[in-house]
Amino acid sequence: MTAPDPGASDADAPDAGANAVDFPMPVVADAPPPGLRYRRALDLAGALRSLWRARRVVLALVVRQVRSQYSQQFLGLAWAILTPFAQTILFTLLLNKAGTAAGVDTEGVPKSLFLYLGLVSWAFYASSVSSGGTSLVGNPLLNKVYAPREVFPIAQVASSGINAVAALLVLPLLFLVAGRGPSATSYWAPVLVVVLVAFAVAIALIVSSITVYLRDLRSGLPLFLQLGMFMPGVLYRIDLVISGWPRLPYAFVFPVGALLDGLRRCVFLGAAPDARLTLVAASGALAYLAGGFLFFKRLETGFADVS
């Protein structure tokens, strides 16, 4: 190694400024350029195909949910009947005492029939939103089952549908006690039920995706559902509170009220559902379903890390 020459002058030293010009320091950007940022491509057709391929997973989850819900219970599935039946008795007694004074008109339909159909339908919707909305939080299967994440809220909606079908088994008995049968226009009922299921799936997808990131919704959800039972169309006719054209935007925002109103018309009154209300409610349910599915898929990437 050669020792530095003590007689060398500063003029002979290398020029630091020249080196800085020849070899500039790299500039680190605060964020990656837009072209390199990761954006998840949302393939809607591919997502629907993937969901269809996972239909057996949904079936397995439904069986698992129903078994775990009623295992080691003496009454089992009968609890799905007892809850709306007890509520019907309570509300029937209240209407018999204060129904006329309160302006509640069932158009000649026995109050037990009128209320029971509405309570069973609302119980299905509320249970779908409640169980489906919390199906991703703390779910041990979320990272163990290779399937689209939406199978979990959809399975909860299907489980709630089984409970609703079991509860409807009491309806023929109520018809027998009332001394009447369903109207000939009851063939409209399956159409309205399909729209109601679509809306329940849509809200379950939206609520479940939000609840993963905002856990407060899990605590506030039961309160919202309890208050929702008293919305127009659920326990009483829509036109008792909303009349004229404002019923149309109400049906779009909250299709449940219009759908239950149509169910009572076709099953009890022998009339077809209101065409405008039903079309608006169906349009709203489809809009919720499409938007809810896209919203769910957009937030899906962070579910496994946050939940």
Q: Is residue 251 part of a domain?
A: yes
Give the structural domain span for 56: 44-306
CA distance 16 to 46: 59
Q: Is residue 39 part of a domain?
A: no
pLDDT (tens digit, 0 to 9) for every residue of the chain, 307 residues total? 455 555 555 555 555 555 555 656 667 777 666 665 555 667 778 888 888 898 898 999 998 888 887 776 666 667 777 888 888 888 777 777 665 545 567 778 888 888 889 889 999 999 999 999 888 887 777 777 778 889 999 999 999 999 899 888 888 888 888 888 888 999 999 999 999 999 999 999 999 999 988 887 888 888 899 888 889 888 888 888 888 889 999 999 999 999 999 999 999 988 999 999 999 999 999 999 999 999 998 888 777 666 5
Alpha helices for 103-170 (secondary structure H): 111-133, 151-168
- The 3-class secondary structure across 25-50, one letter per residue, is CCCCCCCCCHHHCCCCCCCHHHHHHH
Q: Is residue 106 part of a domain?
A: yes
Q: Is residue 223 part of a domain?
A: yes
CA distance 133 to 153: 7
Tokens coding 283 = 């349009």
Number of structural domains in the chain: 1
Q: Is residue 6 part of a domain?
A: no
- Backbone φ and ψ of 292, nearest 5°: -65, -40
Q: Is residue 153 part of a domain?
A: yes
Q: Is residue 33 part of a domain?
A: no
Q: Is residue 171 part of a domain?
A: yes
